[in-house]
Chains A and B, each alone.
Chain A
Amino acid sequence: MATVTKTRNSIRFRGRSFLALVLAPELPLQDWFVEFDDLLRRSPSFFIGRAVVLDVTSLNLDKAALADLIAKLFDRKVRVMGVEGAKASSLGLGMPPAMSGGRVVDVPDPVDEEASTSEEDEKPKSAPPPQLVPATSPSLVVDHAVRSGQSIVFPEGDVTVIGSVASGAEIVAGGSVHVYGPLRGRVLAGTTGNPSARIFCHKLEAELLSIDGLYQTADEMQPGLLGRPVQVWLKDDTLMFAALD
Protein backbone atom coordinates (compact mmCIF):
# COMPACT_ATOMS: atom_id res chain seq x y z
CA MET A 1 0.00 0.00 0.00
CA ALA A 2 2.76 2.39 -0.93
CA THR A 3 0.76 4.54 -3.30
CA VAL A 4 -1.87 6.52 -1.49
CA THR A 5 -3.22 9.67 -3.02
CA LYS A 6 -5.64 12.40 -2.00
CA THR A 7 -8.54 13.91 -3.88
CA ARG A 8 -8.68 17.56 -4.78
CA ASN A 9 -11.75 19.63 -5.60
CA SER A 10 -14.39 17.10 -4.64
CA ILE A 11 -17.98 17.95 -5.36
CA ARG A 12 -20.66 15.97 -3.66
CA PHE A 13 -23.65 14.56 -5.46
CA ARG A 14 -25.77 11.78 -4.13
CA GLY A 15 -29.06 10.05 -4.42
CA ARG A 16 -30.73 10.09 -1.07
CA SER A 17 -33.78 8.28 0.20
CA PHE A 18 -35.86 9.87 2.89
CA LEU A 19 -38.15 8.38 5.41
CA ALA A 20 -41.81 9.14 4.87
CA LEU A 21 -44.87 8.00 6.74
CA VAL A 22 -47.09 5.95 4.50
CA LEU A 23 -50.76 6.47 5.17
CA ALA A 24 -53.01 3.73 3.80
CA PRO A 25 -56.69 4.62 4.26
CA GLU A 26 -59.16 1.76 4.32
CA LEU A 27 -62.67 1.47 3.01
CA PRO A 28 -65.19 2.69 3.97
CA LEU A 29 -63.43 6.03 4.13
CA GLN A 30 -66.01 7.58 6.44
CA ASP A 31 -65.23 5.09 9.19
CA TRP A 32 -61.55 5.45 8.54
CA PHE A 33 -61.76 9.23 9.03
CA VAL A 34 -63.56 8.71 12.34
CA GLU A 35 -60.59 6.63 13.50
CA PHE A 36 -58.20 9.14 12.03
CA ASP A 37 -59.84 12.12 13.73
CA ASP A 38 -59.70 10.20 16.96
CA LEU A 39 -55.95 9.77 16.51
CA LEU A 40 -55.57 13.47 15.77
CA ARG A 41 -57.50 14.40 18.91
CA ARG A 42 -55.03 12.46 21.01
CA SER A 43 -51.94 13.91 19.30
CA PRO A 44 -52.90 16.99 17.30
CA SER A 45 -49.39 17.81 16.09
CA PHE A 46 -48.49 14.33 14.94
CA PHE A 47 -48.58 15.02 11.20
CA ILE A 48 -47.33 18.60 11.32
CA GLY A 49 -44.09 18.92 9.40
CA ARG A 50 -44.03 15.27 8.44
CA ALA A 51 -43.62 13.89 4.95
CA VAL A 52 -46.61 11.71 4.19
CA VAL A 53 -47.12 9.39 1.25
CA LEU A 54 -50.67 8.27 0.59
CA ASP A 55 -51.03 4.61 -0.35
CA VAL A 56 -54.31 4.15 -2.22
CA THR A 57 -53.51 0.78 -3.77
CA SER A 58 -56.48 -0.96 -2.20
CA LEU A 59 -58.99 1.87 -2.68
CA ASN A 60 -59.43 2.09 -6.46
CA LEU A 61 -60.45 5.77 -6.42
CA ASP A 62 -61.24 7.92 -9.42
CA LYS A 63 -59.74 11.37 -9.84
CA ALA A 64 -62.51 13.28 -8.03
CA ALA A 65 -62.59 10.87 -5.08
CA LEU A 66 -58.81 10.99 -4.76
CA ALA A 67 -58.81 14.79 -4.87
CA ASP A 68 -61.53 14.80 -2.23
CA LEU A 69 -59.51 12.47 0.00
CA ILE A 70 -56.41 14.64 -0.31
CA ALA A 71 -58.46 17.76 0.42
CA LYS A 72 -59.94 16.16 3.54
CA LEU A 73 -56.44 15.25 4.72
CA PHE A 74 -55.28 18.79 3.93
CA ASP A 75 -58.05 20.14 6.17
CA ARG A 76 -56.56 17.99 8.94
CA LYS A 77 -53.11 19.54 8.30
CA VAL A 78 -51.73 16.43 6.62
CA ARG A 79 -49.52 17.41 3.67
CA VAL A 80 -49.45 14.60 1.14
CA MET A 81 -46.13 14.68 -0.74
CA GLY A 82 -46.85 11.75 -3.02
CA VAL A 83 -49.44 9.15 -3.95
CA GLU A 84 -48.69 5.47 -4.31
CA GLY A 85 -50.84 2.98 -6.16
CA ALA A 86 -53.09 5.46 -7.96
CA LYS A 87 -54.06 5.12 -11.61
CA ALA A 88 -52.14 7.53 -13.84
CA SER A 89 -55.46 9.00 -14.96
CA SER A 90 -56.37 9.89 -11.38
CA LEU A 91 -53.33 12.11 -11.00
CA GLY A 92 -52.58 15.29 -12.82
CA LEU A 93 -51.64 18.92 -12.44
CA GLY A 94 -52.12 20.17 -8.92
CA MET A 95 -52.01 16.66 -7.51
CA PRO A 96 -49.07 15.17 -5.64
CA PRO A 97 -46.75 13.15 -7.86
CA ALA A 98 -47.07 9.38 -8.22
CA MET A 99 -44.55 7.39 -6.23
CA SER A 100 -43.55 3.81 -6.63
CA GLY A 101 -40.82 1.37 -5.73
CA GLY A 102 -40.83 2.36 -2.10
CA ARG A 103 -39.26 -0.18 0.20
CA VAL A 104 -39.95 -0.91 3.78
CA VAL A 105 -36.73 0.35 5.26
CA ASP A 106 -34.72 -0.34 8.31
CA VAL A 107 -35.33 2.58 10.56
CA PRO A 108 -31.99 2.96 12.32
CA ASP A 109 -33.14 4.50 15.55
CA PRO A 110 -36.25 6.60 15.53
CA VAL A 111 -36.49 6.68 19.30
CA ASP A 112 -34.88 10.08 19.84
CA GLU A 113 -37.15 11.87 17.47
CA GLU A 114 -40.21 10.07 18.73
CA ALA A 115 -39.31 10.66 22.34
CA SER A 116 -38.94 14.38 21.85
CA THR A 117 -42.49 14.60 20.61
CA SER A 118 -43.65 12.02 23.17
CA GLU A 119 -46.03 10.38 20.74
CA GLU A 120 -44.30 7.10 20.32
CA ASP A 121 -47.23 4.90 21.21
CA GLU A 122 -49.58 6.81 18.97
CA LYS A 123 -47.67 6.04 15.84
CA PRO A 124 -50.25 4.94 13.25
CA LYS A 125 -50.27 1.33 12.16
CA SER A 126 -49.75 2.32 8.56
CA ALA A 127 -46.27 3.68 9.22
CA PRO A 128 -43.48 1.33 8.14
CA PRO A 129 -42.67 -0.90 11.09
CA PRO A 130 -39.01 -0.72 12.07
CA GLN A 131 -37.30 -3.92 10.99
CA LEU A 132 -34.32 -5.58 12.51
CA VAL A 133 -31.13 -5.11 10.54
CA PRO A 134 -30.47 -8.49 8.92
CA ALA A 135 -27.40 -10.28 10.19
CA THR A 136 -25.96 -10.64 6.67
CA SER A 137 -26.26 -7.85 4.14
CA PRO A 138 -27.40 -8.96 0.68
CA SER A 139 -24.99 -9.13 -2.22
CA LEU A 140 -25.28 -9.49 -5.96
CA VAL A 141 -22.89 -11.58 -8.04
CA VAL A 142 -22.68 -10.79 -11.77
CA ASP A 143 -20.82 -13.63 -13.47
CA HIS A 144 -20.45 -12.08 -16.90
CA ALA A 145 -18.88 -9.00 -18.43
CA VAL A 146 -20.86 -5.78 -17.99
CA ARG A 147 -21.06 -4.24 -21.44
CA SER A 148 -21.09 -0.60 -22.47
CA GLY A 149 -24.51 0.92 -21.83
CA GLN A 150 -25.49 -1.66 -19.23
CA SER A 151 -26.19 -0.51 -15.73
CA ILE A 152 -26.20 -2.73 -12.66
CA VAL A 153 -28.05 -1.01 -9.82
CA PHE A 154 -28.14 -2.71 -6.43
CA PRO A 155 -28.84 -0.30 -3.57
CA GLU A 156 -29.33 -3.20 -1.15
CA GLY A 157 -25.68 -4.14 -0.78
CA ASP A 158 -22.45 -5.30 -2.37
CA VAL A 159 -21.90 -6.09 -6.04
CA THR A 160 -19.29 -8.55 -7.28
CA VAL A 161 -18.54 -8.69 -11.00
CA ILE A 162 -16.63 -11.67 -12.36
CA GLY A 163 -15.52 -10.22 -15.68
CA SER A 164 -14.84 -6.79 -17.07
CA VAL A 165 -16.83 -3.59 -16.70
CA ALA A 166 -16.65 -1.84 -20.06
CA SER A 167 -16.20 1.81 -20.82
CA GLY A 168 -19.70 3.27 -20.71
CA ALA A 169 -21.02 0.66 -18.28
CA GLU A 170 -22.04 1.49 -14.74
CA ILE A 171 -22.25 -0.29 -11.39
CA VAL A 172 -24.26 1.41 -8.66
CA ALA A 173 -24.19 -0.29 -5.28
CA GLY A 174 -25.32 0.57 -1.81
CA GLY A 175 -22.33 -1.33 -0.46
CA SER A 176 -18.90 -2.23 -1.79
CA VAL A 177 -18.06 -3.18 -5.36
CA HIS A 178 -15.61 -5.90 -6.40
CA VAL A 179 -14.57 -6.28 -10.02
CA TYR A 180 -12.54 -9.36 -10.93
CA GLY A 181 -11.47 -8.07 -14.31
CA PRO A 182 -10.57 -4.78 -15.95
CA LEU A 183 -12.70 -1.90 -14.67
CA ARG A 184 -13.13 0.60 -17.51
CA GLY A 185 -16.55 2.03 -16.71
CA ARG A 186 -18.03 3.83 -13.72
CA VAL A 187 -18.50 2.49 -10.24
CA LEU A 188 -20.56 4.23 -7.60
CA ALA A 189 -20.31 2.48 -4.26
CA GLY A 190 -22.01 3.33 -0.98
CA THR A 191 -24.69 5.31 -2.78
CA THR A 192 -27.21 4.97 0.01
CA GLY A 193 -24.94 6.93 2.30
CA ASN A 194 -22.41 4.32 3.28
CA PRO A 195 -18.94 5.85 3.71
CA SER A 196 -17.43 2.50 4.71
CA ALA A 197 -18.08 1.02 1.27
CA ARG A 198 -15.00 0.21 -0.80
CA ILE A 199 -14.17 -0.46 -4.42
CA PHE A 200 -11.84 -3.26 -5.44
CA CYS A 201 -10.78 -4.02 -8.99
CA HIS A 202 -8.41 -6.29 -10.76
CA LYS A 203 -7.24 -3.70 -13.25
CA LEU A 204 -7.97 -0.01 -12.80
CA GLU A 205 -8.90 1.82 -15.99
CA ALA A 206 -12.10 3.35 -14.64
CA GLU A 207 -13.82 6.42 -16.03
CA LEU A 208 -15.20 7.43 -12.66
CA LEU A 209 -15.19 6.07 -9.14
CA SER A 210 -17.40 7.27 -6.33
CA ILE A 211 -17.96 6.30 -2.72
CA ASP A 212 -20.81 7.86 -0.78
CA GLY A 213 -21.10 10.69 -3.29
CA LEU A 214 -17.44 11.64 -3.37
CA TYR A 215 -16.09 10.94 -6.79
CA GLN A 216 -12.98 11.08 -8.89
CA THR A 217 -12.69 10.92 -12.67
CA ALA A 218 -10.00 9.13 -14.65
CA ASP A 219 -8.15 12.42 -15.17
CA GLU A 220 -7.65 12.91 -11.47
CA MET A 221 -6.47 9.40 -10.71
CA GLN A 222 -2.79 8.85 -10.19
CA PRO A 223 -1.36 7.54 -13.46
CA GLY A 224 0.87 5.12 -11.59
CA LEU A 225 -2.17 3.16 -10.45
CA LEU A 226 -3.70 2.66 -13.87
CA GLY A 227 -3.73 -0.91 -15.08
CA ARG A 228 -3.02 -2.26 -11.59
CA PRO A 229 -5.16 -4.02 -9.03
CA VAL A 230 -6.43 -1.29 -6.73
CA GLN A 231 -8.68 -0.71 -3.77
CA VAL A 232 -10.42 2.56 -3.05
CA TRP A 233 -11.90 3.70 0.23
CA LEU A 234 -13.04 6.84 1.96
CA LYS A 235 -11.10 8.51 4.74
CA ASP A 236 -12.21 11.84 6.16
CA ASP A 237 -14.19 12.67 3.02
CA THR A 238 -11.23 11.91 0.79
CA LEU A 239 -11.00 9.07 -1.68
CA MET A 240 -7.91 6.99 -0.92
CA PHE A 241 -6.33 4.71 -3.51
CA ALA A 242 -3.91 1.89 -2.92
CA ALA A 243 -2.42 -0.65 -5.27
CA LEU A 244 -2.96 -4.24 -4.20
CA ASP A 245 0.07 -5.74 -5.94
Chain B
Amino acid sequence: MAKVLVVTSGKGGVGKTTSTAALGAALALSGQTVCVVDFDVGLRNLDLVMGAERRVVFDLINVVQGDAKLSQALIRDKRCEHLSLLAASQTRDKDALSTEGVARVIEELRERFDWIICDSPAGIERGATLAMRHADMAVVVTNPEVSSVRDSDRIIGLLDSKTIRAERGERMDKFLLLTRYDPSRAEKGEMLKVDDVLEILSIPLLGIVPESQAVLSASNLGSPVTIANPDSAPARAYLDAALRLMGIDVPITVPTDKRSLFGALFGRRVA
Protein backbone atom coordinates (compact mmCIF):
# COMPACT_ATOMS: atom_id res chain seq x y z
CA MET B 1 0.00 0.00 0.00
CA ALA B 2 1.64 3.20 -1.19
CA LYS B 3 1.93 6.05 1.25
CA VAL B 4 1.88 9.70 0.31
CA LEU B 5 3.92 11.81 2.71
CA VAL B 6 4.06 15.59 2.61
CA VAL B 7 7.03 17.43 4.06
CA THR B 8 5.80 20.84 5.03
CA SER B 9 6.43 23.69 7.48
CA GLY B 10 4.76 26.96 6.58
CA LYS B 11 7.98 28.85 7.16
CA GLY B 12 10.75 28.86 4.57
CA GLY B 13 14.34 27.88 5.14
CA VAL B 14 13.69 25.42 7.96
CA GLY B 15 14.87 22.36 6.02
CA LYS B 16 11.92 20.93 4.07
CA THR B 17 13.91 20.16 0.92
CA THR B 18 16.91 18.81 2.85
CA SER B 19 14.58 16.62 4.91
CA THR B 20 12.67 15.40 1.84
CA ALA B 21 15.91 14.32 0.17
CA ALA B 22 17.39 12.79 3.33
CA LEU B 23 14.22 10.89 4.31
CA GLY B 24 13.63 9.78 0.72
CA ALA B 25 17.15 8.43 0.43
CA ALA B 26 16.97 6.79 3.86
CA LEU B 27 13.73 4.97 2.96
CA ALA B 28 15.15 3.95 -0.41
CA LEU B 29 18.35 2.63 1.21
CA SER B 30 16.23 0.34 3.34
CA GLY B 31 14.79 -1.24 0.20
CA GLN B 32 11.53 0.70 -0.21
CA THR B 33 10.77 2.28 -3.58
CA VAL B 34 10.53 6.03 -3.19
CA CYS B 35 9.64 8.97 -5.39
CA VAL B 36 10.41 12.47 -4.15
CA VAL B 37 8.20 15.12 -5.79
CA ASP B 38 9.12 18.80 -5.84
CA PHE B 39 5.97 20.93 -5.52
CA ASP B 40 7.89 24.19 -5.29
CA VAL B 41 7.04 25.23 -8.83
CA GLY B 42 9.01 28.30 -9.82
CA LEU B 43 11.61 27.91 -7.08
CA ARG B 44 12.69 24.35 -7.57
CA ASN B 45 15.51 23.15 -5.37
CA LEU B 46 15.05 19.46 -4.78
CA ASP B 47 16.81 18.58 -8.05
CA LEU B 48 19.89 20.47 -6.83
CA VAL B 49 19.92 18.81 -3.42
CA MET B 50 19.51 15.43 -5.14
CA GLY B 51 22.25 16.23 -7.65
CA ALA B 52 19.94 15.70 -10.63
CA GLU B 53 19.70 19.25 -11.99
CA ARG B 54 21.55 18.33 -15.20
CA ARG B 55 19.19 15.47 -15.96
CA VAL B 56 15.81 17.20 -15.79
CA VAL B 57 13.98 17.00 -19.13
CA PHE B 58 10.32 16.91 -18.16
CA ASP B 59 8.87 18.08 -14.88
CA LEU B 60 5.77 17.88 -12.71
CA ILE B 61 3.98 20.57 -14.72
CA ASN B 62 4.54 18.69 -17.97
CA VAL B 63 3.03 15.55 -16.47
CA VAL B 64 0.15 17.43 -14.80
CA GLN B 65 -0.73 19.10 -18.08
CA GLY B 66 -0.35 15.88 -20.04
CA ASP B 67 2.61 17.06 -22.15
CA ALA B 68 4.77 14.18 -20.95
CA LYS B 69 4.23 10.72 -19.54
CA LEU B 70 5.14 10.08 -15.95
CA SER B 71 7.79 7.56 -16.98
CA GLN B 72 9.49 10.22 -19.09
CA ALA B 73 9.65 12.69 -16.24
CA LEU B 74 10.86 10.40 -13.47
CA ILE B 75 14.60 10.69 -12.84
CA ARG B 76 16.16 7.66 -11.22
CA ASP B 77 18.89 8.38 -8.71
CA LYS B 78 22.37 7.23 -9.76
CA ARG B 79 23.44 6.19 -6.26
CA CYS B 80 20.32 4.42 -5.13
CA GLU B 81 18.17 2.50 -7.60
CA HIS B 82 15.00 2.61 -5.50
CA LEU B 83 14.96 6.41 -5.40
CA SER B 84 13.36 8.57 -8.10
CA LEU B 85 12.76 12.29 -8.48
CA LEU B 86 9.94 14.20 -10.10
CA ALA B 87 11.28 17.73 -10.48
CA ALA B 88 9.34 20.99 -10.38
CA SER B 89 9.36 23.48 -13.20
CA GLN B 90 11.54 26.52 -12.64
CA THR B 91 9.97 28.61 -15.39
CA ARG B 92 6.29 28.21 -14.58
CA ASP B 93 4.32 29.24 -11.53
CA LYS B 94 2.01 27.46 -9.16
CA ASP B 95 -1.12 28.35 -11.12
CA ALA B 96 -0.01 25.84 -13.74
CA LEU B 97 -0.81 23.03 -11.26
CA SER B 98 -4.40 21.93 -11.73
CA THR B 99 -6.15 20.14 -8.90
CA GLU B 100 -7.31 17.30 -11.18
CA GLY B 101 -3.91 16.98 -12.83
CA VAL B 102 -2.14 16.65 -9.48
CA ALA B 103 -4.68 14.07 -8.33
CA ARG B 104 -4.05 12.01 -11.47
CA VAL B 105 -0.25 12.16 -11.11
CA ILE B 106 -0.41 11.16 -7.45
CA GLU B 107 -2.65 8.18 -8.35
CA GLU B 108 -0.15 7.07 -11.00
CA LEU B 109 2.71 7.42 -8.54
CA ARG B 110 0.82 5.36 -5.97
CA GLU B 111 0.84 2.43 -8.38
CA ARG B 112 4.60 2.55 -8.88
CA PHE B 113 6.13 3.38 -5.51
CA ASP B 114 5.94 2.45 -1.83
CA TRP B 115 6.49 6.04 -0.79
CA ILE B 116 5.64 9.31 -2.49
CA ILE B 117 7.27 12.19 -0.65
CA CYS B 118 5.97 15.63 -1.59
CA ASP B 119 8.30 18.55 -0.90
CA SER B 120 5.94 21.43 -0.12
CA PRO B 121 6.76 25.04 -0.92
CA ALA B 122 6.85 27.48 1.97
CA GLY B 123 3.72 29.47 2.71
CA ILE B 124 0.09 28.48 2.88
CA GLU B 125 -0.93 29.31 -0.67
CA ARG B 126 -1.95 27.11 -3.56
CA GLY B 127 1.36 25.28 -3.98
CA ALA B 128 1.48 24.28 -0.33
CA THR B 129 -2.18 23.26 -0.13
CA LEU B 130 -1.90 21.18 -3.32
CA ALA B 131 1.22 19.46 -2.00
CA MET B 132 -0.60 18.41 1.18
CA ARG B 133 -3.98 17.71 -0.43
CA HIS B 134 -3.44 14.02 -1.22
CA ALA B 135 -1.17 13.16 1.67
CA ASP B 136 -1.79 10.20 3.98
CA MET B 137 0.68 11.53 6.51
CA ALA B 138 2.69 14.65 7.09
CA VAL B 139 6.11 15.52 8.41
CA VAL B 140 6.07 19.02 9.85
CA VAL B 141 9.59 20.43 9.78
CA THR B 142 10.16 22.94 12.55
CA ASN B 143 13.14 24.89 13.85
CA PRO B 144 13.36 25.48 17.59
CA GLU B 145 12.32 29.13 17.40
CA VAL B 146 8.98 30.82 17.95
CA SER B 147 8.12 31.98 14.44
CA SER B 148 8.77 28.55 12.97
CA VAL B 149 6.67 26.92 15.70
CA ARG B 150 3.75 29.27 15.11
CA ASP B 151 3.86 28.68 11.34
CA SER B 152 3.97 24.93 11.93
CA ASP B 153 0.93 25.22 14.13
CA ARG B 154 -0.88 27.02 11.30
CA ILE B 155 0.13 24.28 8.87
CA ILE B 156 -1.14 21.57 11.25
CA GLY B 157 -4.47 23.38 11.28
CA LEU B 158 -4.53 23.29 7.47
CA LEU B 159 -3.55 19.60 7.43
CA ASP B 160 -6.57 18.97 9.63
CA SER B 161 -8.94 20.87 7.36
CA LYS B 162 -7.74 21.14 3.76
CA THR B 163 -6.56 17.63 2.97
CA ILE B 164 -8.71 14.97 1.33
CA ARG B 165 -8.29 12.77 4.39
CA ALA B 166 -9.49 15.52 6.69
CA GLU B 167 -12.45 16.30 4.44
CA ARG B 168 -13.46 12.63 4.56
CA GLY B 169 -13.15 12.74 8.33
CA GLU B 170 -10.24 10.30 8.31
CA ARG B 171 -7.16 10.40 10.46
CA MET B 172 -4.19 12.35 9.18
CA ASP B 173 -0.95 11.29 10.87
CA LYS B 174 1.30 14.23 11.58
CA PHE B 175 4.85 14.02 12.85
CA LEU B 176 7.19 16.69 14.08
CA LEU B 177 10.72 16.79 12.72
CA LEU B 178 12.75 19.25 14.71
CA THR B 179 15.71 20.44 12.63
CA ARG B 180 18.74 22.67 13.23
CA TYR B 181 18.62 21.79 16.89
CA ASP B 182 21.55 22.77 19.08
CA PRO B 183 21.29 21.14 22.53
CA SER B 184 23.81 23.50 24.12
CA ARG B 185 22.01 26.62 22.91
CA ALA B 186 18.65 25.17 23.95
CA GLU B 187 20.11 24.56 27.42
CA LYS B 188 21.21 28.19 27.62
CA GLY B 189 17.72 29.34 26.66
CA GLU B 190 18.78 30.71 23.27
CA MET B 191 16.55 28.20 21.51
CA LEU B 192 13.27 26.56 22.40
CA LYS B 193 13.71 23.20 24.04
CA VAL B 194 12.28 20.03 22.54
CA ASP B 195 9.63 19.78 25.25
CA ASP B 196 8.53 23.39 24.68
CA VAL B 197 7.97 22.75 20.99
CA LEU B 198 6.19 19.46 21.64
CA GLU B 199 3.98 21.08 24.23
CA ILE B 200 2.89 23.81 21.83
CA LEU B 201 2.39 21.64 18.75
CA SER B 202 1.26 18.46 20.52
CA ILE B 203 1.99 16.04 17.68
CA PRO B 204 4.32 13.01 17.96
CA LEU B 205 8.03 13.56 17.48
CA LEU B 206 9.62 11.88 14.46
CA GLY B 207 13.17 12.96 15.15
CA ILE B 208 15.57 15.66 16.20
CA VAL B 209 18.11 16.67 13.58
CA PRO B 210 21.05 18.53 15.09
CA GLU B 211 22.51 21.64 13.49
CA SER B 212 25.50 20.42 11.51
CA GLN B 213 27.95 21.44 8.83
CA ALA B 214 27.35 18.04 7.22
CA VAL B 215 23.93 19.18 5.97
CA LEU B 216 25.28 22.17 4.06
CA SER B 217 28.22 20.19 2.64
CA ALA B 218 25.88 17.46 1.43
CA SER B 219 23.53 20.00 -0.21
CA ASN B 220 26.42 21.61 -2.04
CA LEU B 221 27.60 18.18 -3.17
CA GLY B 222 24.15 17.49 -4.56
CA SER B 223 23.59 14.47 -2.39
CA PRO B 224 21.12 13.74 0.40
CA VAL B 225 23.01 13.80 3.69
CA THR B 226 21.95 10.22 4.39
CA ILE B 227 23.90 9.11 1.30
CA ALA B 228 26.76 11.64 1.32
CA ASN B 229 27.74 11.22 4.96
CA PRO B 230 25.68 8.45 6.59
CA ASP B 231 27.76 8.48 9.77
CA SER B 232 27.20 12.17 10.47
CA ALA B 233 24.86 13.18 13.28
CA PRO B 234 22.10 14.60 11.02
CA ALA B 235 22.22 11.53 8.76
CA ARG B 236 21.78 9.24 11.76
CA ALA B 237 18.83 11.34 12.89
CA TYR B 238 17.21 11.06 9.44
CA LEU B 239 17.91 7.31 9.20
CA ASP B 240 16.22 6.78 12.58
CA ALA B 241 13.31 9.01 11.49
CA ALA B 242 12.87 6.91 8.35
CA LEU B 243 12.69 3.77 10.49
CA ARG B 244 9.99 5.40 12.62
CA LEU B 245 8.05 6.29 9.45
CA MET B 246 8.08 2.57 8.59
CA GLY B 247 6.58 1.88 11.98
CA ILE B 248 9.74 0.61 13.66
CA ASP B 249 10.06 1.78 17.23
CA VAL B 250 13.42 3.49 17.72
CA PRO B 251 14.13 5.47 20.89
CA ILE B 252 14.52 9.18 20.19
CA THR B 253 17.97 10.62 20.85
CA VAL B 254 19.79 13.74 19.77
CA PRO B 255 22.72 12.37 17.76
CA THR B 256 25.95 14.32 18.20
CA ASP B 257 29.10 14.47 16.14
CA LYS B 258 32.09 13.11 18.02
CA ARG B 259 34.44 15.97 18.63
CA SER B 260 37.35 16.61 20.92
CA LEU B 261 36.69 18.88 23.85
CA PHE B 262 38.81 21.53 22.16
CA GLY B 263 36.85 21.12 18.94
CA ALA B 264 33.55 21.43 20.76
CA LEU B 265 34.64 24.63 22.49
CA PHE B 266 36.13 26.02 19.32
CA GLY B 267 33.06 25.14 17.28
CA ARG B 268 30.82 26.88 19.75
CA ARG B 269 32.90 30.05 19.65
CA VAL B 270 32.68 30.21 15.90
CA ALA B 271 28.96 29.59 15.89
Contact = CB atoms under 8 A, between A and B. Distances in A.
Interface of A: 144-150, 163-164, 166-169, 182, 184
Most buried by A among B151, B153, B160, B199: B153
18 contacts: A144-B160, A145-B202, A146-B157, A147-B153, A147-B157, A147-B160, A148-B151, A148-B154, A148-B157, A150-B157, A163-B202, A164-B200, A166-B150, A166-B200, A167-B146, A167-B200, A168-B150, A184-B200
A149 B202 contact: no
Contacts of A166: 150, 153, 200
Interface of B: 124, 146, 150-151, 153-154, 156-158, 160, 199-200, 202
Contacts of B146: 167
Given A167-B150, A167-B153, 16 more contacts: A145-B202, A147-B153, A147-B156, A147-B157, A147-B160, A148-B150, A149-B124, A149-B154, A150-B157, A163-B202, A164-B200, A166-B200, A167-B146, A168-B154, A169-B153, A169-B157
Contacts of B202: 145, 163-164
B199 to A, nearest CB: 8
A163 B154 CA distance: 15
B200 A149 contact: no
Contacts, number: 37
A211 to B, nearest CB: 25
A84 to B, nearest CB: 30
A145 B200 CA distance: 10
Contacts of A145: 202
Contacts of B158: 149
Contacts of B150: 148, 166-168
Contacts of B199: 182
Contacts of A147: 153-154, 156-157, 160
A8 B98 CA distance: 53
A170 to B, nearest CB: 12
A164 B198 CA distance: 12
A166 B201 CA distance: 8
Contacts of A144: 160
A166 B153 CA distance: 7
Contacts of B157: 146-150, 169
